[in-house]
Chain A
Amino acid sequence: GNSVTQMEGPVTLSEEAFLTINCTYTATGYPSLFWYVQYPGEGLQLLLKATKADDKGSNKGFEATYRKETTSFHLEKGSVQVSDSAVYFCALPISGGYNKLIFGAGTRLAVHP
């Protein structure tokens, strides 16, 4: 079945630093890939997604490119803010093509002023 491996945290950065959170996957076919974010005290929110190879998902300054050659979907942001402090989850559908997700372990990001 499909699986996802995510960079472990926590990641601690200063404001305006560059962020990369690594995510690699194994999958049958080319499923959609997702990044979810969980802000303190809140639920999981979809941050961005990519539905096919070479697609770039973007939202709120975050980007991730679906790379089938390296089976990766790394999350990047050029300049993080304190408000980006959260836990980030990489996810993809469990094999079968249906909306049933498998999540990475989550990476906690802490941004300091």
Chain B
Amino acid sequence: EPEVTQTPSHQVTQMGQEVILRCVPISNHLYFYWYRQILGQKVEFLVSFYNNEISEKSEIFDDQFSVERPDGSNFTLKIRSTKLEDSAMYFCASSSRRDANTEAFFGQGTRLTVV
């Protein structure tokens, strides 16, 4: 069964450092998403991406964040200068369509710890 894969599963970084979280969406999907879950809180939408550009982003997704599809398979989330409050589980997702009835497939998540 096709799946979304994320690497690394756990990343520890020092405050102020840049991190790149990587995702390989399902191969025939066209819509890509990042969500995050701060420990003990809700899963929150960060950004959606289609046709090599951001289609929507939340208030959380400020200038410190960027997304990219550097090649035909990877989808990355970069945090330019990490803060302690960026510590969270980050989930990548993909879907074949963007309508609300279409299932989004999620990866297993990357736990980011900023120290």
- Whether A97 contacts B108 by the Cβ 8 Å rule is no
Q: Within 8 Å of chain B (Cβ to Cβ): is A77?
A: no
Interface size class of A (residues with CB under 8 A): 20 to 34
Report yes or no: A51 in contact with B45, Cβ–Cβ below 8 A.
no
CB contact under 8 A between A99 and B104, given known A89-B43, A105-B41: yes
For residue B43, which residues in chain A have a CB less than 8 angstroms away from its CB?
A: 44, 89, 91, 101, 103, 106
Cβ of B100 and Cβ of A98 under 8 Å apart? yes
| Bound-complex Cα distance A31 to B101 (A) | 8
CB-CB under 8 A from B75, the residues of chain A are none
Q: Name which residue of chain A comes closest to B48, CB basis.
A: A100
> Residues on B close to A: CB < 8 A?
4, 6, 31, 33, 35, 41-45, 48, 56, 91, 93, 95, 97-109
* Interface set of A (CB-CB < 8 Å, partner B): 31-32, 34, 36, 41-46, 49, 51, 89, 91, 93-94, 97-106
